[in-house]
Structure 1
Amino acid sequence: MNRKVLIISPHFPPINAPDHQRVRMGLPYFQKFGWEPLILTVRPDCVEGIIDPLLTQTLPENLSITPINALPVEQTRRLGLNNIGWRCLPYLFAAGQRILSTQKIDLIYFSTTVFITMALAPLWFRRFQVPYLLDFQDPWLNDYGKKYGYHRPPGGQFKYAFAQRLAETLEPFAMGKVSHIISVSPAYPQTLLERYSWLKEDQFTVLPFGAPEKDFEFLPQLNVKQTVFNSHDGKRHWLYVGRGGSDMALALRALFLGVKSERDRHPEYWNSIKLHFVGTSYASGERATKTVEPIAEEFGVNDLVEEHPHRIPYFEALQLLVDSDGIILIGSNNPDYTASKLYPCILARKPILALFHQQSSVVDIIKNCQAGRVVTFDSQHGAGDLIPQVTEQLNWLISTPKKYQPETNWLAFKPYTAQEMTRQQCAVFDRVLRDFSAS
């Protein structure tokens, strides 16, 4: 009989959110590796976010999902509490209590960036003595604003400062009885080990998100239409899908400086090129502002650049990758930035040009899989220092013919697939349960 893991994931399909990516992609394989998942999530109509109904079609049949309510955002906004964590917290606590009281749950697993919900873990542990794991896809308590120049963090300075002060209290509380911590970046374990003396190295596993190979197998059946560009208009469409931000300004400036340099030398090559930047803003509606086009304007190449700051549904983003002629990956000044969007870009089988910090795992993955070209930088570089690297790789990208597919080493890519990542994840579950039973 499979053991049961209660998975806390406030954002879940049909909500299009990256923080359920690990869970959603692992669901087809959990039972194969001896675990039955039970999902505890927030009702989609209570969440502010993009709805992608197609995401629900990727879920296994007979999956146990318990949807909960959340306080209406219309009421909480007046108090400045739009965050889904605050709004769902009392309902999540009650639902978790009910499930743990009525079912034999072997493990509790928090896989979310709604960090405040992790504070429930030690409360449930105290009452039910069920071991819990925390999955850090981003840092909860951080000083990124100081280290990497986030002049205006998401939500603004006041909310960011308030969230960090709260994290100073709740993060150590959540860490108090944690059995194991999974993280996407090797930097997070080091930070937490330095911060909390009671944690041990063997309580950490670094596990990136897996590659969504099943989603690409499913995509042709969906007949998804993207509206960002016309792939048959005779132009070469290069695409970036993902967030923007001041921490990515160096990579963007280097890219546009390289484009300007090459267009000045060979303007005839650039008449057919368009660069599209999609989903660059976390904000929705009129609050979604452009952060890429202003940088392109600095270098006089804004006529080649189109920015679509609003987020788009997940499968439309995959279709965009498939329809593109080349994929641009922009990295952060932060060396710990791992860019989970790398794997869909590789699976799209398009030429990839990535500009990333030399310590990022993205660099090694692209090189090992022979999936594209990489321009690397460190904290000492300015945009001008990268011109020789950037122009060399731009010339390579512009020379690739339409329908070009890189000769990716798929054997080297296999360790990054969702099935392999889920196997490792379930092996961690097994070890936690074994160690907890022995203690």
Structure 2
Amino acid sequence: MQRVRTSLPYFKEFGWDAEVVTVNESYSPLPTDHLLLQTVPDYIKVHKIKALNRKWTSKLGLGSLALRSLWFFYAQVNRLLKQTRFDLVYFSTTQFPVCVLGAYWKKRFGIPYVIDMQDPWHSEYYQDKPKEQRPPKYWFSYRLNKMLEPIALKHADGLIAVSANYIYNLKTRYPEIKAIPADTITFGAFAPDLAIALKHEHSFEPLLSKNHINIVYVGRGGYDMHKAIRPVLEVFKQLLLQNEDLYGKLKFYFIGTSYAPAGQGKPTILPLAQELGVQQSVVEVTNRISYFHTLATLQQAHALFIAGSDDPDYTASKIYPYLLSKKPLLAVFNEKSSAVGIIKQSAPKASVYTIPANDAATQAGIGALLSAWAQGSFDPVETTPEFEKYSAKQLTLKQVELFAEVLKSKQQVKPI
């Protein structure tokens, strides 16, 4: 949704007329944010479809929005393709099971399709992890993803991904798509969103303490982020032991860490803080918050922290709102993550470290930064001209260039 939303204002400028098919927000258990519609141009046609009621499908263990909406996507897009000549179907979602429809529409209507891999679909990452570190219903989702991914990917005409490794892994796994157009395109920075968030910040629930120096992370949690978070909290613990009055002013927030429905999320960061004995200075809010609530909260923070996964393919799409906020920033990622280079190029004043982040120089750097923050010294992050190439407009241009390449190279498929 996020990539499409920030691309819609620019598709027409680059010669593409887009129509959107999406599930009506009333069928999603996640928080809704109607402010998102303010950035969608009025001329864009948006077709909202139904989904099976989660209240009933959850009794069968099927809460996935993708599975609940699959039939409705099939029916709506069939109608559109019968009525109007479209050049391309573009799947940009993490509800990956709907992508299997691309193979059907290609066979039925002769229309090519592009898949945007914002996360891995089928992955072996959790196979060697203990049960408590695996996502809910992992046994089922692992097998479902393993079955559905090849159906969608083997017939795809183009690939976009936030990580080059995603493309490499998929082309290695499926030789059938080795020659199709593909490009690594991160999510774009969309500056108008900040103005909207600030205009409406009074309508969001305040989440931060007025009596502390607040260091904020907003995004998913998970045990795979412990390697990035642990060294920061370990350094913080040592500082607390040296001067509790000074460093006790710092409070770390981890907000929106679970994808579970509100009230049902399990903390994954607070247990680490408890293990290290710094839980009094760490707040974990498992409930997701809306996108603009996130932006407003980042603006209200004294400083920001981005924790990356230990997965080298992980690229945090959230880095652009962090950089646009121009707040002091501490980031810890796997050294192979593309986020490291993006932040270093775009915001030289940001403090970026890589996992395992336990060497003396890194610990000293983190300690010096936390010490400065505790004493009220905040060095704003300024973006360089290099940051422009990560703007939503420039990355929309990269998308349509790939679309054009797909149309140029596609083999005509005779509809049945």
SS in structure 1 of the partner of residue 126 of structure 2: helix
Q: 1:391 to 1:201 in 2, by over 3 A?
A: farther
1:118 is matched by which residue type in structure 2? C
Does the aligned pair in 1 maintain the 2:267–2:284 contact within 8 Å?
Answer: yes
Partner of 1:137: 118
Q: Deviations over 1:156-183 (max 9, x none)?
A: xxx3222222223322221232110111
Quote the residue 2:174 is aligned against: 196
Q: CA deviation at 1:285?
A: 3.0
Structure 1 position 207 matched with structure 2 position 185: yes
Q: What runs of 5+ residues in structure 1 fail to find an aligned partner?
A: 1-19
AA at the equivalent of 2:178: K
1:275 equivalent to 2:249? Answer no
Aligned-CA RMSD value:
2.0
Matched-pair contact (CA < 8 Å) for 2:201–2:293: no
**Alpha-carbon separation, structure 1, partners of 2:153 and 2:231:** 40
The equivalent residue for 1:37 is 18
**Could you report, residue by residue, the CA deviation over 1:87-114 in whole angstroms, capped at 9, with x for unpaired residues?**
1111110111100000111110001111
More deviation, 62-71/167-176: 167-176
Take 2:101 and 2:61, find their aligned partners in 1: how far apart are those partners? Answer: 22
Matches of 1:438 and 1:78, distance apart in 2: 43
Which residue of 38, 48, 51 maps to 1:67?
Answer: 48
Letter in 2 for 1:222: H
Deviations 1:338-383 (A, max 9, x none): 0111111111111111111111111111211214101212xxx4x7
**Aligned-partner SS, 2:43:** coil
For 1:248 and 1:73, locate their aligned partners in 2 and report how far apart those are by CA, in whole Å. Answer: 30
1:431 to 389, 405, 409: 405
Q: Deviations over 1:265-303 (max 9, x none)?
A: 233421321111111111123321222122112122111
In 2, are the aligned partners of 1:349 and 1:405 still within 8 Å (CA)?
no
Which residue among 410, 413, 417 is the counterpart of 2:384? 410
Q: Which residue of 2 aligns with 1:396?
A: 369
Code of the residue aligned with 2:55 in structure 1: it is E
- Which among 58, 79, 87 is matched to residue 68 of structure 2? 87
SS in 1 for 2:226: helix
Change (3 A) 1:367 1:345: same
Q: CA, structure 1 residues 334+126, in 2 after alignment: closer, same or farther (shift >3 Å)?
A: same
Does residue 179 in structure 1 map to residue 160 in structure 2?
A: no
**Following superposition of structure 1 onto structure 2, how do residues 376-391 of structure 1 map, counting pairs within 5 Å?**
376-377=354-355, 381=356, 385-386=358-359, 388-391=361-364
Instruction: Kindly tell me the number of residue pairs found equivalent between the two proteins.
Output: 410
Q: C-alpha distance in 1, partners of 2:179/2:205?
A: 45
Equivalents in 2 of 1:61, 1:427: separation in Å?
A: 24
Does the CA contact (< 8 Å) of 1:110 and 1:135 recur in 2?
yes
Which runs of 5 or more structure 2 residues have no equivalent in the other structure? none
1:114 alignment partner AA: Q
The separation in 1 between residues aligned to 2:236 and 2:223, in whole angstroms, is 20
Q: How does 1:32-431 map to 2 (within 5 A)?
A: 32-146=13-127, 151-155=132-136, 159-224=137-202, 225-230=204-209, 233-369=210-346, 370-377=348-355, 381=356, 385-386=358-359, 388-400=361-373, 404-431=378-405
1:11 corresponding residue in structure 2: none
The one-character-per-residue Cα deviations of 1:251-277 (angstroms, maximum 9, x if unpaired) are 222111110112222334213211111
* Alignment-mate amino acid for residue 425 of structure 1: Q
In structure 1, the residue corresponding to 2:380 is in which secondary structure? coil
Whole-angstrom distance in 2 between the partners of 1:57 and 1:245? 32
Contact 1:366–1:373 under 8 Å retained in 2? no
Q: In the aligned structure 2, how far is the partner of 1:51 from the partner of 1:144? A: 30
